[in-house]
């Protein structure tokens, strides 16, 4: 499994457990591989509601804002990206892995609190604390990638999508559920979260710019994007 990982500082291989060829050293605590190099803070509200995110917050919020259940959306995504090695970006508690078939299942997040819950609930998932704008994985090493309810929160969507495209194998798929400028509910959510949201066309242009083929489905305030790397 270590062959999949790359040093987030210089991109070199790890020659022994979390020590890269250039000597940069990282840690693994409580089953969480910490490859975060910057002091990136997770949203305070998300850390506060982490214990009830999967059971209350996400199910209730998505039902109101999309008309679909949390399980429906995560199941749909999971079934599309199943493969040998699967990565979920912004994984939170890792709910999607209830529906993904994978031999190596990896969840990446910046929140230690969420990753701790993930390891408690789904101990077989590899928990990685890392930056989605500089994924600590080798080029074309992943069979399926999901980024659920998170891309609209990144400071650079283009950089994040480039990274997804870089680590995704040719002929494989990625999925993303994104808050887009669909209706009054999406505008309301953006105001509450202090986000600048964009149209579906904005995201289509980014996916296509990096070389991904894209399809989409609007689901209330959200848009479910399905991408494939030729």
Distance in angstroms (rounded) separating the CA atoms of residues 172 and 82: 10
Is residue 152 a part of any domain in this protein? yes
CATH code of the domain containing 123: 3.40.50.150
Domain count, the chain: 1
Counting Cα atoms < 13 Å in the Cβ hemisphere of 226 gives: 14
Hey, which residues does 29 pair with through a beta bridge? Answer: 32
pTM: 0.96
pLDDT per residue rounded down to tens, the chain (230 residues)? 779 999 999 999 999 899 999 999 999 999 999 999 987 776 677 888 999 999 999 999 999 999 999 999 999 999 999 999 999 999 999 999 999 999 999 999 999 999 999 999 999 999 999 999 999 999 999 999 999 999 999 999 999 999 999 999 999 999 999 999 999 999 999 999 999 999 999 999 999 999 999 999 999 999 999 999 99
Give how far Cα 213 sits from Cα of 40, 68, 98, 117, 210, Å.
31, 25, 27, 34, 9
Does residue 123 form part of some domain? yes
Residue 11 lies in a domain: no
Q: Is residue 12 part of a domain?
A: no
3-state DSSP assignment of residue 159: helix
Provide the residue range defining the domain that includes 86: 31-228
The Cα–Cα gap between 230 and 225 comes to: 16
Contacts 24+ apart (CB under 8 A), 44-51: 46/111, 46/114, 47/111, 47/113, 47/114, 50/92, 50/93, 50/111, 50/113, 50/114, 50/117, 51/117
């Amino acid at each position: 499994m270590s062959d999949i990982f790359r040093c987030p500082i210089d991109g070199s291989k790890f020659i022994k457990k979390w020590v890269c060829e250039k000597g940069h050293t990282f840690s693994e605590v409580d089953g969480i591989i910490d490859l975060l190099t910057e002091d990136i803070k997770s949203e305070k509200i998300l850390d506060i509601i982490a214990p009830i995110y999967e059971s209350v917050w996400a199910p209730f919020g998505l039902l109101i804002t999309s008309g679909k259940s949390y399980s429906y959306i995560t199941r749909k995504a999971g079934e599309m990206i199943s493969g040998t090695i699967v990565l979920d970006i912004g994984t939170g508690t890792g709910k999607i892995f209830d529906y993904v078939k994978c031999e190596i299942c990896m969840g990446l997040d910046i929140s230690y609190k969420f990753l701790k819950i993930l390891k408690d609930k789904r101990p077989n998932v590899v928990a990685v604390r890392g930056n989605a704008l500089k994924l600590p994985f080798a080029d074309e090493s992943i069979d399926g990638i999901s980024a659920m309810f998170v891309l609209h929160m990144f400071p650079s969507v283009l950089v994040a999508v480039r990274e997804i495209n870089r680590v995704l194998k040719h002929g494989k798929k990625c999925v993303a559920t994104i808050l887009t400028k669909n209706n009054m509910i999406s505008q309301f959510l953006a105001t509450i979260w202090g986000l600048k949201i964009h149209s579906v066309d904005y995201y289509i242009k980014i996916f296509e710019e990096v070389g991904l083929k894209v399809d989409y489905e609007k689901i209330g305030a959200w848009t479910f994007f399905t991408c494939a790397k030729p």
